[in-house]
A and B are shown apart, each in its own frame.
Chain A
Amino acid sequence: MRLRSPSALAARRAPRLSPFARFVVRRALVVPAQFLFVLVLLYLVIAYPENLFEHSQLGFGNFFVTFYQWAGNLLVGNWGIAQEGSYPHVTWLQLYLYCLPNSVELGAIALGLAAAIAYPISLVSGWSRRPGVDLPGRFGSLVLAYVPPLVFGTLILSAIFFDFYRTFHDLPDNGLLPSPTWIQNTYHTIPTWVINDEFTRPTGLPVLDGALHHAWLFAEIALIKTLIQALVISLVFVAVFLRPARAVVVQASQERHIVGARARGVPERVLLWKHTAARVRPTMLMTFALAIPTFLAIQFTVEVLFADAGIGSLVFLILTGSGLGGLEPVEVLLMLVAVFVLVTLFLVDVVAFWVDPRGARAW
């Protein structure tokens, strides 16, 4: 009988994972730990003070019990009931589920637009040393980043308000759906698939639902409203995103292989769009993912400005305490955003590793 060495046996027993799979597994294991950390943080800074106030003497021993109960309620969707405001006696879970599709539709279009605008602009701005490109890029991003989205949004709203009204006989600041007056005038009744003048059925996505019910004019107005808001969000976001993205391109443009290729006579166009673009893509993706909380802040503000029935409007109602109950909705919101960002960061890390394994982060 032929004897095998221990290392050969070990290698045979444990199937070797590829570096990519190993990275994905290692990285995936970190996400639950990060989520738990965020939950503990939320409990400590928001829920525990409220509990202390209500029950005055909780004690250290009860800390874990109350945390367990609190986290359990949060995770199973037992988030309580909205008490007043426009949505009385509706559970928070229902309210979030109602508002989510509007925000998802707007966010998805805005994110796509922002990426489509930001990527080429930051590449060109970081690459070109011509004053006509570099200076406007740097100073434009510098100044525009500090203009709060509400100013930018109000300016655009002021600019389009009357033209929009003349064209569609509808108001642009009345949410993503056409206004109830417009619906009444056009269809002489409120369609059964439009709920509370704010939401649509069956998908909840206004453009898609309009198209599904062959209400083409409805879908067209909803789409144009969505595009206007998405444009505002993406333009503000590009100003914020441009600065770090440009920094990534400037650093990449000074690397040795680029300088060497230039010395050999490779055209600037090829250097930028082939070599540098490929080099900066993972870092750009990472910068983009890290800027998602900023993106959400901008989107929430735009939703409020345009009176959308989305998560953003709900967030501001909650945060300014407009009679919608205690702090549970804030905790829920932070948890949902944290989950969204953690999952996005995970996906971006995986994509970044897949695009360029050298750029793997310290996982």
Chain B
Amino acid sequence: MVNGPSPPTEPARADRPTLRERLGRRPLGAELWAGLVLLTLYGVGAVSALVYFGAGINGFTPNPAWVPPPPIAPVHGPSWAHPFGVLSGFGVGLFTVLWKATPWDVAIVAGVLAIDVALGVLLGTFAGMYEGSAFDAAVVFVTDSLTAVPSFILVVGLFAALEFLAPARVNLATFVLVFGLLLWPATARAVRERARIVAREPYIESARAAGAPPRRVYARHLLPNSLDPLLARIPLDLVPIFFVLTVFPWEWNCINPPYVAGAPFWLVPTLVPNSPLPTVNFPEYGNLLSIGVCEGMPYLTGQVYWWMVFFPLAAIVGLSAGIALVCDGIEQRMHRTPL
């Protein structure tokens, strides 16, 4: 019988501290609380919208009287009847339409981040664990090459190409998939850098020397300790998503609006070509903000209708900041100083 080193043993279940004890020792910080509260609000908003609006969640009906901008049509600022005011152009009450948009935007962000994080972490940690291997070289090469192509142009170009081959596939699900597949290289690169440093740490060597199998070393030690860059990376990955969803409808409708014979001289939004949205009247934060900027800040008149910009922008910033605060909060629990 060979007397090798005995594998490390798990502490007995009864010896492990409970969740309450853990939280008592290291309470959640203010940032983590703030982030969790924000995300819970968005979650509740999304679920309640799904329940309240049912099948009507995927569109809104404009009020023709509200479509022309002020001073042609009366201005409807925030009031009890319309808590967030009325958005000209789309001709809708902003509160209702932002509420309707919440489940869609939460789903888009969650879907993109899920693909991005899953691929980035998996490939990044494996590449870092087996530094110098062919797999590592391939990951580094692909990630560095893909970083050179701006994701926002590639997404739109890819959608334009998809319009030729499979127009039915130009939808939000494809948008989520494509964006997730384009964002993972930056995540993988950052995680790999951390994983290769962690893989050389003495505690990893000790675990290996103690006979822990590679699977256990990976899952128990390397993976949890390589996630720091991920927490700094996730909030940044949200920026291009809302950039694409906002800037292209804005450019299409406000800067170079298509000429339509017999159309009124004020803005009547149309769907930007190759858009992932099914219709122009689809509730989505970026789409609403693009028209809000156009109608709410007409600098030639010197008037500012702040609510048309503020509330869609607050919805985007709130969702993104919620995720960023959670990431910062987790970071703060792991280290003394958030990165």
Contact = CB atoms under 8 A, between A and B. Distances in A.
A146 B153 contact: no
Contacts, number: 179
B160 A319 contact: yes
Interface string A281-320: 0000000001001101100010011010000000111011
B94 to A, nearest CB: 16
Contacts of A342: 145, 148
A115 to B, nearest CB: 19
A201 interface: no
Contacts of A38: 145, 148-149
A142 B293 contact: no
A322 B309 CA distance: 26
Contacts of A162: 302
A104 interface: no
Interface string A108-141: 0000000000000000000001000000001000
Contact of A49 (B144, B164, B316, B338): B164
A38 B131 CA distance: 24
A158 B304 contact: yes
Given A345-B144, A362-B131, A143 B150 contact: no
Interface in A1-50: 30, 33-34, 37-38, 41-42, 45-47, 49-50
Nearest to A248: B339
Interface string A43-75: 001110110110000000000000000000000
Nearest to A153: B293
A241 B139 CA distance: 24
B339 A337 contact: no
A100 B313 CA distance: 33
Contacts of A221: none
Interface stretch (A183-191, A222-230, A267-275, A328-336): A328-336
B149 A337 contact: yes
B255 A304 contact: yes
A240 interface: yes
Given A150-B247, A304-B255, A320-B252, A45 B154 contact: yes
Contact of B165 (A49, A146, A320): A49
A290 B147 contact: yes
Contacts of A195: none
Given A46-B158, A50-B164, A331-B157, A243 B236 contact: yes
A161 interface: yes
A175 B137 CA distance: 45
A327 interface: yes
Interface stretch (B53-61, B85-93, B97-105, B320-328): B320-328
Contacts of B152: 293, 297
Interface residues of B, number: 67
Contact of A330 (B137, B151, B157, B324): B157
A34 B165 contact: no
B266 interface: no
Task: Tell me what chain B mostly uses at the interface: helix, strand, loop, or mixed.
Answer: helix
A327 to B, nearest CB: 6
Interface stretch (B63-71, B75-83, B238-246): B238-246
Nearest to B331: A247
B316 to A, nearest CB: 6
Contacts of A50: 161, 164
Interface string B245-265: 011101110011010000000
Given A142-B235, A240-B236, A330-B157, A320 B248 contact: yes
A154 interface: yes
B142 interface: yes
B273 interface: yes
Given A297-B240, A304-B255, A320-B272, A49 B162 contact: yes
A58 to B, nearest CB: 12
Contacts of B117: none
Given A319-B248, A321-B274, A45 B161 contact: yes
Contacts of A52: 164-165
A129 B338 CA distance: 11
A254 B339 CA distance: 11
Interface in B211-239: 232, 235-236, 238-239
Nearest to B272: A320
Given A243-B235, A247-B232, A362 B165 contact: no
Q: Give me the 8 closest cross-chain CB pairs, A-B, nearest first.
A: A293-B150, A53-B164, A247-B339, A341-B148, A158-B299, A49-B161, A34-B145, A330-B157
25 contacts: A37-B141, A37-B142, A52-B165, A129-B337, A142-B325, A143-B317, A146-B239, A147-B313, A149-B243, A150-B250, A150-B290, A150-B293, A151-B293, A158-B297, A161-B299, A243-B236, A294-B150, A297-B243, A321-B160, A327-B157, A327-B160, A330-B157, A342-B148, A345-B144, A362-B131
